A and B are shown apart, each in its own frame.
Chain A
């Protein structure tokens, strides 16, 4: 007999509550198969690439709109209010927590996130000189986290990271 490699389970299910008479009464077995779907992408970080490349040099950049004066951190390459192309500006890398959550799980989106220490603080930070909030992990004792807390960008000492956004994190200032 040929083996079906993807066959995971064959279940016998009970009669459905909402159908009488049950039209499936003569065959109650259900086969479950295992399927996989993985892909690799050559993904362009586009016009915000400079942010990530500057992080490698331990510099924290944002974009500013000459039209309205708003500074976007994270950077936006086009000002949504003025539809003008924004200009790069370097920020001091200090800021204030405006919202946060103490997380007891993290997604498994990449190896960097899998290494986040839990419980961990996921914080939205208003960088000094910016108009919007930057989300990242704040490495501190979770009980210390609060709205209004002063923080600064820290750069990883790790030998490598998988995604360039993890060249940085926040720490208490």
Chain B
């Protein structure tokens, strides 16, 4: 019997700029209760392991938050582990859970996480806190921020390949348009390319509408062996089984400058994708993947991602994106949730929520217009820093 994990249930909170009504415990509980209901579980007594996913002790103003959440969810005395991987935290959490199930450490594991990145601190403080995850002796003290690093990368991409601001704007327009079909999205918008191009410059070539959101939110996924899922997940047999079939991880240097002369793209993402494709037996990703959630922290980052994930050759991401092949009605729809630009990005929940969108796509449970017809294999792409830690997870429907 295979130990490849199946997805037993998923749960999300809406992503919001400011969930004043909730603490981080309330948010994670909300996502976990939704996950239980989705799995058809009345309680968590059969679950064998917990896994807490959150990035920042500073935003949450709490160390050992994993222990607090585990306790709040009534999971003691079960084993627990906290996973942190910057922006890739949620995806790395799932990858860790994958390994815990595959290794035989447990038959089932509840992955739960969230972040209060919204308005609990000012946006200046938020930028400063995120800068703490840059190289603190060099880039951070100079006054560098991730927005600056991403912008410089995109400037180099534009110089080398002729990528344009209008091509970047296509991503900003499309992902926020996709978010309009997602009632849990933070910023659904109906924009034009010109709206994006005319928005306030932030870090050129990026303008305000090229930038993703700061969000409060939480997400949960229950993974298990198929045997466990059949025994305990009362809804498991009602749905086509979805396997978490492959995972890949790659890394790159902390500082962009140490990657010279390769500063236009994400080397770690290529490594992560290659590892995941090898595990899933994928040779032609554009042909063999039906739906994907890509890490669009800034609009142009999605252009770089479609190149590094091997959907299109290096340098052709801008033209490919602008051609509409990744739109909701295109050849390979991406970010049907709205992505980080439209749905939002509470860091510890982001990678988990990307997986939730893909799993729901494979179950065929999303509303018309957002649901991709006959989706059988889906991918999530998540990274930390400027591609410093990259994780690619692949889910497959097998019925």
- On whether the beta carbons of A109 and B143 are closer than 8 Å, the reply is yes
B:193-208 near A, CB below 8 Å: 200-206
Q: A35-B61, A147-B156 are in contact. Are A99 and B202 (CB under 8 A)?
A: no
Contact of B263 among A24, A107, A124 (CB under 8 A): A124
Cβ of A92 within 8 Å of any chain B Cβ, yes or no, is: no
> Is A11 an interface position by the 8 A CB rule?
yes
Contact A103 B20 (CB under 8 A): no
Task: Please state if A104 and B201 are interface contacts (CB–CB under 8 Å).
Answer: yes
Q: Does B58 contact A (CB under 8 A)?
A: yes
B280 to chain A, nearest CB (A): 31
B260 touches A107 (CB 8 A): no
Size of chain B's interface in residues, with CB distance under 8 A? 44
A-B contacts, 26 listed (Cβ < 8 Å): A18-B14, A24-B21, A30-B20, A37-B61, A45-B137, A72-B258, A98-B261, A100-B152, A101-B148, A101-B203, A103-B151, A104-B200, A104-B203, A104-B204, A105-B203, A108-B124, A109-B143, A113-B142, A113-B143, A122-B148, A122-B151, A124-B257, A124-B260, A124-B263, A165-B141, A165-B142
The interface residues of chain B lying within 8 Å CB-to-CB of A74 are: 138, 255, 257
Q: Does B139 touch A at the CB level, under 8 Å? A: yes
Q: Which chain A positions have C-beta within 8 A of B205? A: 101
Output the least CB separation between B343 and chain A (Å): 15
Number of inter-chain CB pairs below 8 Å: 134
| Identity of the chain A residue whose Cβ is nearest the Cβ of B123 in the assembled complex | A105
Is B14 a contact of A108 with CB atoms below 8 Å? no
Expressed in whole angstroms, the Cα–Cα distance for A74 and B201 within the complex equals 29
Bound together, the chains give a CA A112 to CA B203 distance in angstroms of 19
| Docked complex Cα distance between A122 and B204 (Å) | 10
Bound CA–CA A135/B142 (angstroms): 8
Q: Which A residues form the contact surface with B (CB < 8 A)?
A: 11, 13, 16-18, 24, 30, 32, 35, 37, 45, 48, 72, 74, 76, 80, 98-110, 112-113, 116, 119, 122-124, 126, 131-137, 147, 163, 165-166
Give the CA-CA distance A76 to B135 in the complex, in Å. 12
Query: Is B139 within 8 A of A107, CB to CB?
Result: no
B121-152 vs A, Cβ < 8 Å mask (1 yes, 0 no): 00011011001000001111111110110011
Is the beta-carbon distance between A101 and B143 smaller than 8 angstroms?
Answer: no
Q: How far is the CB of B190 from chain A (nearest CB, A)?
A: 21
Q: Which residues of B contact A37 (CB under 8 A)?
A: 58, 61
B223 at the interface (CB under 8 A from A): no
Counting chain A CB atoms within 10 Å of each CB, the highest count among B148, B253, B256, B260 belongs to: B148
19 A-B pairs besides A102-B201, A113-B142 with CB distance below 8 A are A13-B20, A32-B20, A37-B61, A98-B156, A103-B147, A104-B204, A107-B127, A113-B143, A119-B201, A119-B204, A122-B152, A124-B152, A133-B256, A133-B257, A133-B258, A135-B138, A135-B144, A135-B257, A137-B142
